Chains A and B, each alone.
Chain A
Amino acid sequence: MDDLLREFIAETNEHLAVLERDLVALERASDDARLVDDIFRNIHSIKGTCSFLGLKRLESVLHAAESALDKLRDEAMPPASAVTGALLGACDRAKTIVAVLARDGHEPDGGDADVIARLELTMRPSAAVALAPALAMREPPAAEPAAASTIRVNLDTVERLMAQVSELVLARNQLVQMLRGQPDPEAALALQRLSQVTSDLQESVMKTRMQPIGQAWMKLPRMVRDLAHDLGKKIELTFQGGETELDRQVLELVKHPFTHLMRNAADHGIETPVQRRRDGKAETGQVSLSARQEGSAIVITLADDGRGIDPERIRAAIRRGGFANDADLLAMSEHQLLQFIFHPGFTTAARVTNVSGRGVGLDVVRSNVEKIGGTVEVASSVGRGTRFTIKIPLTLAIVPALLLDCRGQRFAIPRTAVAELLRSGPEHRIDWIHGAPVLRLRGSLLPLVALSDVLHLGESLSAGEERLIVIIGYGAQRFGIMVDGVDDAEEIVVKSLAPILRGTRLFAGCAILGDGSVALILDPGALAAAVGTMESAEPARAPTPLLELGSGVRGDGLLLFGAGGETPKALRLASLLRIEEIAPEQIEQIDSKPIMLYRGAALPLHLLGAMPAGERRLVMIAAHEGRMCGFLADAVIDTVDHATMLDPSTTRPGVLGTATVAGRQVEIVDAAHYIRAASARLLAPARGAA
């Protein structure tokens, strides 16, 4: 039996016990409206969970009881003994069903027409009294549920226990540090034992705080049902992985985001049945919610098969809201456009409905998720649906962290955010593009930032210096931060900062380290923002820009790349708009010329040599006089700051000339030539179709 069901049974037994007591009280004090309300609420809350767990018998019995009570509430009909009698009958039947449920894991066979009929009869005032005794219970009330294997503990107790264990972990860490290198084997042994017990205790206490994520979903079926009803839509909700457990504290924090995303899916995502039929889809829209564990994180996806998010509407809304200027809009990928739905105040809804569209919400969803070290990503396809992927840590209490050194001060960063550590050198060179450092790593360029710059801790990095680089993976975004040193890894207990320090946003909190000192915890999300490219992407679904140059870049730098053939090619950085990574199947053919879909238009592609091999292709997107084209490449080789002298004898159509760059011959591509040539065969307006 899964935990969700076990939890439900424990809770329902309690509810039923209270219900029984209240019903008996009601029989004596029949005009107590508050008691009626209590009973109603009690029945309602059990019923809500029933539909979630698919307990049909229980649900129908409780539904009938609810209706009878409703009548009682609305018409202030005095509860004749027959009403409470019928209700008690329903209560007994519910107990019987729950008892079988606890034993077998499923509801017993059979029907409850008798109980329901009796309840319905009470709703006809004249018949109520007369008929009541005629229907006897066929099933005897169940015996008391067997002694439970669970107890309910006050949350405060669990929280206190957790805090104490956290302190114990700290004390243990401190002791380990003090006794490091201690030659006494007895002390070492005792410490090892203490260490083991502490870790076990920590794990056990952590377990007591774990709850199935399905608990946060229980209210959703009812909400979606009501929404579908209000909006005149047909929506089917499916769940998967509801038994996935996560920390209670985390669970509380993500309840609101679920509700919000679900509401969005029902209101904005799923179309009306008429619309769906017109689009050749099933009338009933599908919304699915699933959860699974991935290492120390929980990945939750909410997907609908609705209309998707139209990039054009987003573009229009960005313009309307003044979130970006036209030049920036031009340089944005579809994926970047999508990210705007998380901006505060952003809405594409032309009208505000009762349900959503007020432009509040998704930004709150994102900030709620990021606050606990999680990420939210969105992918959408017009006419096919939208998928939100939320990744959150299993627990917040104790976090494995890496200690970084910057200008003599130590900072902690969650271990989960660190993708790799490396030292810059000939193998991993730091390049400079327009004064900003980038790291060339396995054929892609990663933005770099010096931690000392972000934290305003003094002198910046100068070119050519060898640096330690921590590669951070935040969502799908990767970037490097340069630090002075990397110390130990340590498990830290996250403590919050005083309100006057929260404005910096760079710190997720602080922690007391093993040596008793306090270290600030860097917030990977805030670092990502400091790097300046809030770009996240799902490969294969949306183009991934590897390098964002923005529009209006000036300069005479060159980007060297391999594009099949022996001679490396180079593009002037001034003409390069961006670099995208695409899958081979994204390359299509028109008139046997390769193109790719880019921002809703066809982008002509050029092969400068043989078709690059491999699973991923790079496309260098260049712009000239408002038109664009792409060059297929297999790897970024290098960037150089200044173009060297061109050899004029090597100039030919499409090639500005050959130059010697970094000791080798490269061909500098004349992007303007290709763009002019492409315009003749296929127009790819740089401005989107809008």
Chain B
Amino acid sequence: MSDVVTIRVGSEKFAVPVMQVRDVLRRQNATPVPLAPPAVAGLLNLRGRVVTAIDLRLRLGLAPQAAEGDAAHVVVENGGELYALAVDGVGDVLNVDERRLESVALALDARWRAVASAVYPAETGLIVLLDIARLLDIAPVRRAAS
């Protein structure tokens, strides 16, 4: 049994392990980083710590869209660094019965398979469980033109 936080990106539902979530904040403007990979939204100041914001829509290959009222940043930790996942909404904490988890190969779009650890059939529909480490394994950035 493990707990996950459900998040909404566009109309899709995902979830991230509760153990890795450090904070949830209202969406705020990030300082853009020139020449960074497209999925990097920028840098945020989280109480004196610098957090790298990731645009989950872009990362998951969904159409970009302006932030709405429910938009939030879910701050997760990976390898000692903090990252803020920009999401369109944050839902409940769900207690996942691991015996009911299904393989990602079963139902998933190919581009999500690489960043998902499993699929969970909740009462409200299928939820894709994201693997934070793989989600943040973003292709190297462009080199500065010389």
Contacts and interface: CB of A to CB of B under 8 A. Distances in A.
A500 B34 contact: no
Given A503-B143, A526-B144, A455 B34 contact: yes
A279 interface: no
A258 to B, nearest CB: 29
B34 to A, nearest CB: 4
A512 interface: yes
Interface string B14-34: 000000000000000011111
Contacts of B145: 453-454, 456, 530
Interface stretch (A111-119, A128-136, A281-289, A513-521): A513-521
Interface residues of A, number: 30
B79 interface: yes
A405 to B, nearest CB: 13
A516 B45 contact: yes
B45 A506 contact: no
B99 interface: no
Nearest to B29: A517
B140 interface: yes
A150 interface: no
Given A500-B52, A518-B44, A409 B143 contact: no
A505 interface: yes
B144 A512 contact: no
Contacts of A500: 36-37, 40, 52, 136, 138, 140-141
A500 B144 CA distance: 14
Contact of B34 (A167, A456, A498, A499): A456
Given A409-B31, A520-B31, A503 B141 contact: yes
A499 B83 CA distance: 11
A504 B50 contact: no
A495 interface: yes
Contacts of A167: 48
B81 interface: yes
Contact of A498 (B35, B81, B140): B81
Interface string B43-85: 1110011101000000000000000000000000001010100
Contacts of A518: 30-31, 42-45, 50
A501 B40 CA distance: 9
B83 A504 contact: no
Contacts of B35: 455-456, 504, 506
A409, A498, A499 — most chain B CB neighbours (10 Å): A498
Interface of A: 167, 170, 409, 453-457, 495, 497-501, 503-507, 510, 512, 516-520, 526, 529-530, 532
Interface of B: 30-37, 40, 42-45, 48-50, 52, 79, 81, 83, 136, 138, 140-146
